[in-house]
Amino acid sequence: MSKAEAHVKVERMINVEVKRGANENNVSLIKRFTKRVQGAGILRKVRSLRYKDRNVSPYGKKKQMLKRIEREKVREKLLRLGKIAPRQTR
C-alpha cells in the first residue's frame, strides 16, 4: 500500500469544542454542544460504522462458495432419495 492510499484510508476525527459564556447556564451549554455534534455529523458517522463488517478476502469468498456448492450437492442428493421435501415457491 502506497502512502497516498494510506492517507486516503485514514478517517478524520472531528472534535467539537464549546466554551461556556459568562452568564450561560449548564443546560444551554449542553444544548449548544449537542447542536454542534449533530451539525458535525459525528453520531451519524459512528452509528453507520457500528455494525460494519470488513470486506471478505478473495480466499474467504472462495471458501464460502465451495461450502455453498457442497451444501447444494447434499441437498440435491437428499431430494433425489426422497428424504426431504422440495422447497416451496410462492
The structural domains of the chain, with segments of one domain joined by +, span 1-52, 57-90
Residue 51's pLDDT is what? 84
Residue 58's pLDDT is what? 96
- How would you write the pLDDT of the chain (90 residues) with one tens digit per residue? 454 444 444 456 678 888 898 999 999 999 999 999 888 888 888 888 888 888 999 999 999 999 999 999 999 999 999 999 988 888
> Rounded to an integer, what distance in angstroms lies between the CA atom of residue 66 and that of residue 64?
5
Residue 8's pLDDT is what? 43
> Rounded to an integer, what distance in angstroms lies between the CA atom of residue 34 and that of residue 49?
20
Number of helical (H) and strand (E) elements in the chain, helices listed first: 4, 0
